Amino acid sequence: YQGDKLDRFVSVSVVDANKDGKGEIFVTNLRRSNIPGKQVERGGSITSNVDWDPSSLVLSYGSGKITVMANKLPYFLGSVELAQRGKILIGQTKGSENVFRSEIFEMQLIGNTLKQLVSLPVPRRCNVFNFAKWDINGDGADEIVVIDDENRLLVLNSQGDQIWKSDSR
């Protein structure tokens, strides 16, 4: 599969999101859009008249070829491994003030669309690209390992309270 000059592929995940026993390929794509006569404002500063919107796609591989299952999906996509459930597909929509809206959803592939299932219980500082969950201390509850805005690694308990932070970046 090849995008065009308006596409910017950001990440790739492989998850069996439709529960058919085969992994689908999820590509987070940002698609460039020009806004004539308008400048895009992000966080109080004007950046340009170009905006990048999620326009992600789902691919499958079989018989030696890649097939597009779904495209133009308005989500940032990723995956996370859950200790009790295994790998799941997660998605997040674009925010108006920040890059991401705060909620991260478990996603399911149904035909050629993605359905938001449940909101993941993760702190607001998490996005689909910067965290992992696992019971790293053996207490029976998943901890959250996240990279913060200062590029520091944090370990949070299941309630989102910080229990460790790296000294260096």
Residue (of 42, 57, 41, 46) closest to 8 by Cα position = 57
Burial class (CB in 10 A: 0-12, 13-18, 19+), 31: middle
pLDDT digits (tens, 9 = 90+) for 144-156: 999 998 999 999 9
Tell me: the pLDDT tens digits for 37-80? 555 565 666 556 677 889 999 999 999 999 999 999 999 999 99
The sheet that has 162-165: what strands, in order across it?
Answer: 131-134, 143-147, 153-156, 162-165
Give pTM, 2 decimals.
Answer: 0.84
